[in-house]
Amino acid sequence: MTMIDDALAAIDANAGPAVERLFDFLRIPSVSADPAHFADCDRAADWLVDELRAIGFEAAKHPTDGRPAVVGHIKAARRDSPHVLFYGHYDVQPPDPLDLWRSPPFEPKLEAGPRGERIVARGASDDKGQLMTFLEACRAFQRFGGPPCAITVLFEGEEETGSPSLPAFLTKNAKTLKADIALVCDTGMWSPSTPAITTALRGIVADEVVLTGANRDLHSGVYGGVAVNPIHVLSRILGDLHDPNGAVTLPGFYDGVEELPEEIKEQWAALEFDAAAFLGDVGLTTPVVERGRTPLEQVWSRPTCEVNGISGGYAGEGVKTVLPAKASAKVSFRLVGKQNPEKIVQSFRAFVTLRLPPDVKAEFIGHAGSPAITLPVKNEALRRARRALEAEWGKPAALVGCGGSIPIVGAFKRELNMDSLLVGFALEDDAMHSPNEKYERASFHKGARSWARILGALAA
Nearest CA among 405, 427, 447, 381 for reference residue 85: 381
Specify the range with the lowest mean pLDDT, choosing from 115-124, 160-169, 446-455.
160-169
Is pLDDT of 1 > 80?
no
The more confidently predicted of residues 345 and 271 is 345
Q: What is the pLDDT of residue 127?
A: 96
Is residue 27 within 8 Å of residue 45, measured between CB atoms?
no
Counting runs of H as helices and runs of E as strands, what totals does the chain give?
A: 15, 18
Is residue 459 within 8 Å of residue 381, measured between CB atoms?
no
Sheet hosting strand 304-312, strand order edge to edge: 304-312, 326-335, 203-212, 361-366
The 3-state secondary structure of 354-404, one letter per residue = HCCCCCCEEEEEECCCECCEECCCCCHHHHHHHHHHHHHHCCCCEEEEECC
Q: What is the pLDDT of residue 267?
A: 84
Give pLDDT tens digits for 241-270.
999 999 999 999 999 999 988 888 888 888
Q: State in words which class domain 3-201+373-459 has.
A: alpha beta
Q: Tell me if the bond preceding 97 is cis, omega within 30° of 0.
A: yes
What is the average pLDDT across 52-73?
98
Is pLDDT of 99 > 70?
yes
Equal CATH topology for 3-201+373-459 and 203-257+303-366: no
Q: What's the mean pLDDT when you consider all of the chain?
A: 95
Q: What is the pLDDT of residue 79?
A: 84
**What is the dihedral sign for C-alpha 308, 312, 315, 321?**
negative
Give pLDDT tens digits for 368-420.
788 898 877 788 999 999 999 999 999 999 999 988 888 888 889 888 999 99
Q: What is the pLDDT of residue 406?
A: 83
What residues contact 339, with CB distance under 8 A and at least 6 apart? 203, 253, 255, 256, 257, 303, 371, 372
Topology at the third CATH level for domain 203-257+303-366? Alpha-Beta Plaits (3.30.70)
List of long-range contacts for 136-139, beta carbons under 8 Å, 24+ apart? 136/11, 136/14, 136/18, 136/21, 136/448, 136/451, 137/7, 137/11, 137/448, 137/449, 137/451, 137/452, 137/455, 138/55, 138/56, 138/57, 138/74, 139/10, 139/14, 139/55
Q: Write down the pTM of the prediction.
A: 0.85
Q: Domain-by-domain residue ranges, the chain?
A: 3-201+373-459, 203-257+303-366
CA separation for the pair 174, 411 (Å, rounded): 11
Give pLDDT tens digits for 275-329.
999 899 889 999 999 999 999 999 999 999 999 999 999 999 999 999 999 999 9
Q: What is the pLDDT of residue 162?
A: 82
Is pLDDT of 421 > 90?
yes
